[in-house]
Structure 1
Amino acid sequence: MRNPKTGSKKRTATRLLKIVGLLLLLAAGASVVLVGNFSREIEKRFSGRRWSIPSRVLSDTTMLYPGQTFPRKQLEAKLGRLGYRKVSGSPERKGEIKVADSRIEVFLRDFITPQQTSIGFPLRIHYQKDSIESLTRIDTGEPVPLLELEPEELMLFFGKEREERRLVSLDDVPKHLIDAVLAAEDARFFHHPGMDPLGIIRALASNLRHGALRQGGSTITQQLAKNYFLTPEKTFSRKFKELMISLVMESKYSKKEILEIYLNEIYMGNKGSVSINGIGEASFFYFGKPVNDLSISEAATLAGLIRAPNHYSPFADKNRSMQRRNIVIESMFSHGWISRQEFDNSILQPMATAEYETYAKQAPYFMDYLSHQLHTLYSPDALSTLGLSIYTSLDPEAQRAAEEALIKGLSRLEKANPSLLRQEPEKRLQGAIVVLQPRTGYILAMVGGRKYGESQFNRITQAHRQPGSAFKPFVFLAAMDEYTPATILSNEDTPYMIEGREWRPENYSPIPESHITMRMALAKSVNRATADLTMKIGVERIIKAASAFGFSTPLPSYPSISLGSAEVIPMEIARAYCAFAADGLLPHPISLKEVANEKGEVLERRHLTMGNATSPEKAFLITSMLRSVTEAGTARSLKDKGVSFPVAGKTGTTNDFKDAWFVGYTPDILALVWVGFDDGTPIKASGSAAALPIFADLMKSIPQHSSGGWFQPPPGIVNRTICSMSAQLAVEGRCPEPVQELFLAENAPNEPCEIHTGSGRDSGAEPFRQIIRDVKKFFGIR
């Protein structure tokens, strides 16, 4: 007879089995759905752009060549900024440098720009005082005629994450770095399916044995799943998701793919407020070199950081970092991944790192100017995510020299005249500098104000100021079709009636001569003589001539514009002067040279754009006259300030001393300096007193940009020996004061001196005798 209790138990068991089966079926279904969801999410994230890579702004490259003046200390500092590390012996690895009294030995690094791929080699740079005597390859002994150093990083365009990352391909990562990471984090990575129970047990045993956390239990795949897909909370559900994602990743991607993603993802510390992510960026941050140049010791240091980057950072505690590094080296040796000799050498290596630097935007006024242009080409999101390489015209040495010269010059003025001091930052004495390559328009340096943190207003590109006498070269240029540098102008006190009103220009300093040549009128910045010339040629001719030089601000039809009364933008004055140095060609200022994507493909390239402002002959004549400014005129103190090479330039001072200017140039470089208060308060100093010393300090700091050469006259320029009294051809033996002067061929004098020939001998000579002393002084005639 059937037992009722037995039947009841069987029915209960059957129902339980059905329930369990149903639950398992539901769990399996849920797992399938969950795995499917994870699979789609992984594919979506890995198939698209995996990271937001900030775009990097880079300086121009730097040229070195024998015979170049490039102070050794300055080059040493540059190599330091580029991350080259000093060693006591000869450099044996790329990125190392040894400095001696008369030479620098450096193992150059590889670098790629859109223009070239440069492979590093060991180089010896011999110095003779501050000049490079020779460049020689250490490995072959061959002379190097020209060398190009890699650009410096100036700025990054960050997104909201503020992560700095430099992607690496696993093929470019040295084996000993991979081994170090595996030894530190997951030695069985290539042998498990994404989770490693044996590894968890081994890590637990090791930690208990040593009484400290020496090994972790999570695999590399699990770490990647946690960092890339999940939030950091410590819950069972998050751990379950981590395990599931790890298994899915392992089923869909190869071990090499997972390892490469991991090496580019891991958090490796902080540079100020910026997160360092990935082994590529960490290599540069901690050691100033790419991953393929890391030694075993350095690779072990980086691998040791992964567990707790800020705790084990060599910048935080070198001893603790070294202890962690040695644990990684021991693990590499125990797995047979390095030899006994490699182990002994690596364990004894001192902890030598790059200099710690927080993130700081360099050349901030230049960067603002550049950013404005970039944002017309790319969205902020593109700049912060696409990892573009943005190549600029900036010269870091010129930029630093300009910043230092401006601060020094303004402080010097305030010390000499304490009434210029202001407590409120927005009211302080200001200044600005721009440095250009006149034949290309490349902006080498830009300082838009005294201190960017106090004022972001860029006085080079945004200010509208009266140029004063800095505008006069355009007046004299306008007269060149009819007049010459030898033309005599009146320096008499003359009132002019303009639209019923009297205009009576005054000179800033006494000029005793009643008449003066055009050359000396420009050299000494004589207002009365300039006004005389203006009235002779007419204001409209001046406006027409100046307009060809690209001024965007209106030039009113009033004679006082010849003395610089019309406001202009300082950048436009600098650009206009470039035409005098570039055979009359007007360059467009260039800050952005090229933009390349992550593959090195050029997306944007700025070509030189030149307009015709004037003829080569007229540009040369103005340059010749502006050289007289620095040799016999208002800027003649330039040599006393230590500038020994020839310079053409012009000072500028406005009414009531509200603005002080100097614009100077050579065939190689042009610099504009402006000093003043934003509100127009007088600074009580002229251009020669306020701006010229700053220019001098700048030029002395960048001798590599001044070859000492001078402009060659174009075919349409002739040299004539003239009588200084009549401006006609000198008659040998009769004219007592012959001088050399330059002319346009079509305007050169053809007639002999009328004063010292025939019946006209000495007739009417009196007006010209008054300028003899001045002319003699300029040309060095006794």
Structure 2
Amino acid sequence: MAKSRLQKKASGQVNKSKRSGLKSIVAIIVLFLMMGGMGIALYCWRLSVGIEERFSGRRWRIPSRVYSDVTILYPGQKINRVHLHAKLKNLGYCQVVQKPNISGEIRINDSDIEIFLKDFKIAEKGRPAYPLKIQFNGKEIESMVRMDTGEQVPILEIEPEELMLFFGAEREQRRLVSIRQIPDHLIHAVLAIEDNRFYRHPGVDPIGLVRALWTNIRSGAIRQGGSTITQQLAKNYFLTPDRTFSRKIKELLIAVTIEVFYKKEDILEIYLNEIYFGQKGSVSVNGIGEAADFYFGKTADRLAPEESAALAGLIKAPNRYSPFQDAGLCRVRRNMVLKAMLKEGWLSEQNFAELSSLPVRTSTYRTYGKTAPYFIDYVNKQVSLLYSPESLSSLGLAIYTTLDTQVQSAAEEALKKGLEKLERQNPRLRRSSKMKRLQGGILVMHPKTGAILAMVGGRDYNESQFNRIDQARRQPGSTIKPFVYLSALDDLMPTSLLSNEPKVYEINGKSWEPKNYKPMAEKELSMRKALAYSVNVATVDLAMKTGLERVVRTLEEFHFTTTLKPYPSVALGSFEVVPMELARAYCAFAADGIQPFPLSLRDVVDEKGEVLKRRYMTVSQLVHPAKAYLINSMLQSAVLYGTGRSLKGFGIDFPVAGKTGTTNDYKDAWFVGYTPEVLALVWVGFDNSDSIGLTGADAALPIWADLIKNIPQHVSESWFRIPEGIVERLVCSRSGDLGREGICPETEKETFLTNLAPDRLCRLHRQGFSKGMPEEQKEGN
């Protein structure tokens, strides 16, 4: 009995000890669970703080975009249809055979273009999308009529082209959209294929998760995600792409935390702006806004249901299902999304049948190339004065420039063809090394505003990024002569006679004698003919009569930056200029004496469409309009019968003022020509200043002519208006005095400043008396 009681007592103690140990174990487990729960809770709290910081601040680095200027069309305008077609293609318009019925489609016919315009908005201006028919009559726009209303359109703005982006290291591009801008059918398409229980789960879908876990356990690796939209957002926005179990746990915790603190609509909006949609060259396409533009040339709110389904289908494997890679596979995947939408009740059977039968129609494939690279580099320098590289790569600014892409294309083509032709015709100009090849540059400006329409700084940007328009310093040669003649207009007239007799000048103890490019018999020439024929000896004579100090002062007033000394050789351009300086100086002649500052930027607009910076043209009145008109008139003579007369042989049959230029030893060839609407400068030469053995008329002028013929929209047949202070008189062609009708053998109309017009009759020709003068004229440079 005693033993039995002892055994029971011992057994009780053991049971008590076991219960106590079990309680301890339970307590320890509970403690660990509590500590684990507190740890998880602390981790989730830290996650929520991090998520709040990311979501409340700037969520993405949005590269700023640089755009061209808008293109303006109107009835009566001459147009290069090839360049217009190319522009529309660059803008992502898709050519179709049927009548365009979707924004972004065009049909090109023999005598018209039918186009369904895209809508666009730049700050306070823009236009909606609508179908339009542009009727042509030869090379001219005859009419523009809206195809939906029959209304005549008097003027049309074609949206600007995207030129480049300021990328950060991640090279991601996106266009942010709000959930209010996203159509229901796009949301339904994404939910149907990616997460049909999105509005019924707390961030993690247990059913999907179990299915994914079972698949992964059987395979022994992560094969299926089973991820909800919230999990995808957590993975893409907060985590690395590693496929590990620890990363998956973090993904689940982040997803649940996001759902606790944010509404479903907010989560969906962030997801649709974050998700990856494929590649555009070396740049990733992120977000539904960028994807809509890239694949369909539309804003997200204008997507059609079948386009929304195609984009939703890309999310799983963007590059595999890309319509640019395999349109057939993309269509299969799109129809799978449409089937899922039908299953969810978001499409009717009839809608499904209609939409699934449609082909996948995309915009033209566009990469982020570098259009107008020399111009872009020039713009970068301007923009960098306003914004830091960090701001440009993250703030999503829209930077609108003055570039006319059609003029830019024409300039690039003209320079490329022109230099190749020169090398074919003159084999001595060929070089084995691409870095030593014959080079050239073109600058096209609107003379009254200074707007840069095109800039080509060399024949190949990939070979050389040196911008010969903005960075080179070359001798201008005879292109500087108009400024010498301008300096003399206070005292002399276009008919004033200049000496053409050889003369030696002493400069710092050294003798210098200007020579003409070709021998000339004339001992005297009028100012007009001396400039038209670019006669060196007569020009130096004029500079000496006017005063070298006055000539230098005139050049300085035109903002040439080289330090000039009053030597006679200055009159022949024996100093260096930046080509852009020369073009800007000529603008003053074409703009009634007003010199503009080169303008490359128009507006800088933020993501909300607010204008942050607006550049206005800056001008200064340098020359009296009457004097500018006289120079224009004299430079028109240079084109009509002087050194630029070959322009007519290239098909330039409208009024033009222009000046050729050739430097000593033929190292530089120039032509600067202009009309009231456009001014273009062309330079040709070698970077190492080797002689090209050609004049400006031989090398640069043909390139200028090719360019101008291909931008008819910027050229009219009008001439400069005659300002106050100008009179015309009938003068004797030989003496320059007032002509005696029926007595002087040759008379012509001449232009004068009112206060310097001739007032005496011809001294050489009287009744029964005449005195001959040499008539033969020789061409200069």
Q: Same fold (TM over 0.5)?
A: yes
Shorter chain as denominator, the TM-score bin is over 0.9
- Determine which of 721, 725, 729 is the counterpart of 2:738: 729
SS of 2:623's equivalent in the other structure is coil
The superposition leaves residues 640-664 of structure 1 with CA deviations (integer Å, 9 ceiling, x where unpaired) of 1122221110000001100000000
1:594 equivalent in alignment to 2:603: yes
Pick from 98, 119, 137: which aligns with 1:110? 119
After superposition, the Cα gap between the structure-2 partners of 1:400 and 1:461, relative to the gap in structure 1 and judged at 3 Å, is same
**Aligned-residue offset at 1:341:** 2.5
Matched, 1:4 2:4: no
Aligned letter for 1:770? Answer: P
SS of structure 2 residue aligned to 1:660: strand
> Following TM superposition, by how much is the alpha carbon of 1:733 offset from its aligned partner in structure 2, in angstroms?
3.2
* Alpha-carbon distance in 1 for matches of 2:451, 2:594: 14
Pick aligned residue for 1:296 from 289, 305, 310: 305
- In the alignment, what sits opposite 2:653? 644
Counterparts of 1:583 and 1:205 in 2: how far apart (Å)?
A: 82
**Does the CA-based 8 Å contact 1:185-1:216 persist in structure 2?**
no
When the two structures are superposed, what TM-score results if normalisation uses the length of structure 2?
0.95
Query: How far apart in 2 are the matches of 1:733 and 1:535?
Result: 37
Native 8 Å contact 2:740 2:765 kept in 1: yes
Match of 2:547 among 535, 538, 542: 538
Give unpaired runs (5+ residues) of structure 2. Answer: 1-7, 217-221
Matched-pair contact (CA < 8 Å) for 1:84–1:97: yes
**One-letter identity of the residue aligned with 2:280:** K
Q: 1:659 aligns with which of 645, 668, 681?
A: 668
Give per-residue Cα distances to partners, 1:38-92, cap 9 Å, x unaligned: 1000000000000000000000000000011113332222111111112222222
Match of 2:154 in 1: 145
**Match status 1:720 vs 2:729:** yes
Partner residue in 2 for 1:695: 704
AA in 1 matched with 2:72: M
Amino acid at match of 2:111: S
1:120-166 alpha-carbon deviations (Å, 9 max, x no partner): 21111001112110011111111111111110000000000011111
SS in 2 for 1:407: helix
Query: Which residue number in structure 1 is paired with residue 488 of structure 2?
Result: 479
Structure 1 position 407, deviation (Å): 0.9
Higher mean C-alpha deviation, range 245-254 or range 434-443: 245-254
Deviation at 1:5, TM superposition (A): 2.3
SS of the residue aligned with 2:393?
A: helix
The one-letter code matched in structure 1 to 2:716 is S
Give the aligned length: 766
- Offset of residue 216 of structure 1: 6.0
What is the aligned partner in structure 1 of residue 774 from structure 2?
Answer: 770
Aligned to 1:780: none
Q: 1:115 Cα shift?
A: 4.3
Cα distance 1:411–1:547, how it changes in 2: closer, same or farther (>3 A)? same
Structure 2 residue matching 1:39: 3-state secondary structure = helix
Q: Distance in 2 between matches of 1:754 and 1:452?
A: 60
Deviations 1:541-590 (A, max 9, x none): 11111211111111221001111101111100000000000000110001
Q: Does 1:672 align with 2:681?
A: yes
Q: Distance in 2 between matches of 1:181 and 1:285?
A: 18
Aligned to 1:480, what secondary structure does the other structure show? coil
How far did 1:234 drift? 2.0
AA aligned opposite 2:66: V
1:263 equivalenced with 2:272 (yes/no) = yes
Are 1:83 and 1:289, in contact at CA under 8 Å, matched by a contact in 2?
Answer: no
Cα separation, 2, equivalents of 1:466 and 1:287:
50
Tell me the residue number matched to 1:210.
none
Aligned to 2:506, the other structure's residue is in SS state strand
Does residue 387 of the first structure (1) align with residue 387 of the second (2)?
no
The whole-number CA distance in structure 2 between the counterparts of 1:72 and 1:563 is: 42
User: Which stretch shifts more, 706-715 or 214-223?
Assistant: 214-223
CA distance in 2, matches of 1:696, 1:67: 22
Give 1:323 deviation, angstroms: 1.4
Cα deviation, residue 108, structure 1: 1.1
**Identical positions, percent:** 56
After superposition, residues 278-677 of structure 1 pair within 5 angstroms as 278-677=287-686
The one-letter amino acid of 2:58's match is R
On the 8 A contact 1:548/1:614 being kept in 2, the answer is no
Task: Measure, in 2, the Cα distance between the counterparts of 1:604 and 1:50.
Answer: 24
Contact 1:515 1:770 in 2 (8 A): no
Give the Cα separation in 1 of the matches to 2:129 and 2:361.
22
> 1:32 pairs with 27, 38, 41, which one?
41
Structure 2 contact 411–442 (Cα < 8 Å) conserved: yes
Secondary structure of the residue that 1:106 maps to in structure 2?
strand
343-352 or 518-527: bigger deviation: 343-352
1:201 shift after superposition: 5.8
Structure 1, gaps ≥5 residues long: 208-212, 778-782
Question: What CA distance in whole angstroms lies between the structure 2 residues aligned with 1:189 and 1:223?
Answer: 12
CA contact (8 A) 2:83 2:409 kept: no
SS in 2 for 1:292: helix
1:355 positional shift: 2.7
Q: Does 1:686 align with 2:690?
A: no
Comparing 132-141 with 485-494, greater Cα deviation is found at 485-494
Shift of 1:293: 2.4
2:524 maps to a residue whose letter is H
- Please state if 1:173 is matched with 2:177: no
Q: What is the SS of the residue equivalent to 1:749?
A: coil
Give the Å deviation of 1:215: 9.2
Q: 2: CA distance between counterparts of 1:216 and 1:97?
A: 43
C-alpha distance in 2 between matches for 1:692 and 1:459: 18
Q: Which amino acid aligns with 1:513?
A: E
Superposition TM-score, scaled by structure 1 size: 0.95
Question: What is the rounded CA distance, in whole Å, between the counterparts of 2:422 and 2:593 in structure 1?
Answer: 35
Q: Residues 490 and 532 of structure 1 are in contact (CA less than 8 Å); yes or no, is this contact kept in structure 2?
A: yes
Contact 1:627 1:648 in 2 (8 A): yes
Describe the SS at the equivalent of 1:385.
coil
**CA distance in 2 between partners of 1:497 and 1:724 (Å):** 35
- Per the alignment, in what secondary structure is the counterpart of residue 278 of structure 2? strand
Task: State whether residues 104 and 363 of structure 2, in contact with CA within 8 Å, keep that contact through their aligned partners in structure 1.
Answer: no
Greater CA drift, 658-667 or 504-513:
504-513
Structure 2 SS opposite 1:369: helix
Please give the residue correspondences for 1:143-222 in structure 2 after superposition, counting only pairs within 5 Å.
143-200=152-209, 217-222=226-231
Whole-angstrom CA distance in 1 between matches of 2:574 and 2:274: 59
Superposed displacement of residue 762, structure 1: 4.0
Q: Deviations over 1:378-433 (max 9, x none)?
A: 11010000000000000101111111111111111111111111121221111011
Among 129, 145, 156, the residue aligned to 1:136: 145
Task: Check the 8 A contact 2:172/2:286 in 1, yes or no.
Answer: yes
* Distance apart, 1:725 and its partner CA: 2.5
Q: Secondary structure of 1:432's partner? A: strand
The residue that corresponds to 1:14 in the other structure is: 23
Per the TM alignment, residue 517 of structure 1 is displaced from its structure 2 partner at its CA by 1.3
Q: Distance in 2 between matches of 1:676 and 1:705?
A: 27
Q: Distance in 1 between the 2:327 and 2:115 partners?
A: 26
- 1:501 and 1:762, CA in 2 relative to 1: closer, same or farther beyond 3 A? farther
Letter in 1 for 2:446: Q
What is the alpha-carbon distance in structure 2 between the residues aligned to residue 535 and residue 456 of structure 1? 41
Whole-Å separation in 1 of the counterparts to 2:151 and 2:115: 15
CA distance in 2, matches of 1:479, 1:79: 50
In structure 1, C-alpha distance between the alignment counterparts of 2:223 and 2:656, rounded to whole Å: 67
* Cα RMSD after superposing both structures: 2.0
SS of the residue corresponding to residue 755 of structure 2 reads helix
Shift of 1:29: 1.1
Contact 1:185 1:215 in 2 (8 A): no
Deviation at 1:345, TM superposition (A): 1.7
